[in-house]
Structure formats: structure tokens, C-alpha cells
Amino acid sequence: MHRSVIAVSSSGQHSFSKPNQPSVKLVRGIGIEGDAHAGKTIKHLYLLKKDPARPNLRQVHLIHAELLDALNQQGFSVAPGQLGENITTRGIDLLGLPAGAKLRLGGEAVVELTGLRNPCHQIDDFQKGVLKAVLDQDEDGNLIRKAGVMGIVLAGGEVRPGDTITIDLPPEPHQRLTYIE
């Protein structure tokens, strides 16, 4: 299957949904130029209160379009960018990738995956019931987060819908992505 970017989104405001853009510029060590979550240190409002000097391991938020498809099949109405992601992908099992996997987006940009997004109550403020739909439990009762992955920008560049994505896996043994604060 073709791995590609289907939408790019950003917002200079700390709003839940992010409007789609024709392109976004990734900046090494910072994130998406002009996005409220860009910066060397954490910009997530809840986490900012806890430790404003913490390194920003959440510079870029990616969601797989297959999640949006599943939510829409369950009766929700969710389009790219509406769950707050910067980059919507298709053809990649983002949740199955290991920590440290590098996604090459288009010609230049590289994002290294750092962890899973922890969906919060704002998702239910967006549409009632979506929070429950993006959380699950495994057979041992462990929480499964399905609302995308977070990453840091290793190499900057423009990213547009239609750009191809290649994956570089880290050396084994692979570590599963986990929730990062």
C-alpha cells in the first residue's frame, strides 16, 4: 500500500482542532512553524503548568486516516485535523511502529516518533463518545491509546498532502511506543 500524507494542519492558537493547510514547514528541533505546540520546550498547556522547562517530545502529532475512517463508520463525523493532529497519514500502522522510528515525509523532513498521544476529555467536547472510541483495553486490562503518535523534528522541510512517507526503523530490540507526558 502507498504510504502518504493525506492532510497537514496547524494552528497558532491552543485550539483542539487544527485547520488544514496547503503545506506546513517542519523546523528541526522545534516542530511545525507557527503551530502553538512548536518549541524546544513543552507547549502543551496542561504539561506546561507541571514543568515548563521539560523538553518538547510532542512537537508533531500524527494520526492515521484509518482511525478517522473507523470513527466515521461508527457514526462520528471526523475529518483530518479535527482531532488536533498536524499530519494525517494513510497506509502506515503508526501505533505499531517502535519508539525511535523515523518517518521521512516528502523530500526533506524527518520526524522521529517519541510516544503515543494520550487522548483527553477535549475529544468528548469535540464530539461526545469519541474519547471512548479512541481508547481500548487489551486482554490483560491495559489501556490501549489509539489517538495517534507524537514526534520530534530531526530534519526540517515542507510537507504537503500527497507527499510519500518512508520509514526507517531503529536497531533492534524495538521498544513499543508508550504514553509520554
- Domains belonging to the chain, first-starting first, are 4-168 (2.40.33.20)
Residues 138, 11: contact at Cβ < 8 Å? no
Per-residue tens of pLDDT for the chain, all 181 residues: 689 999 999 999 988 899 999 999 999 999 999 999 998 887 665 666 777 777 888 999 999 999 999 999 999 999 999 999 999 999 999 999 999 999 999 989 999 999 998 887 788 888 898 988 998 888 998 888 889 999 999 999 999 999 999 999 999 999 999 987 6
Peptide bond into 173 cis (omega under 30): yes
Instruction: Identify the helix (H) or strand (E) that includes residue 125.
Output: helix 122-126
CA distances from 51 to 43, 44, 46, 54, 173 (A): 10, 10, 9, 6, 31
Residues 156, 109: contact at Cβ < 8 Å? yes
Q: What's the helix, strand, coil split of the chain in %, to 5?
A: 15, 35, 50
What's this model's pTM, rounded to 2 decimal places? 0.93
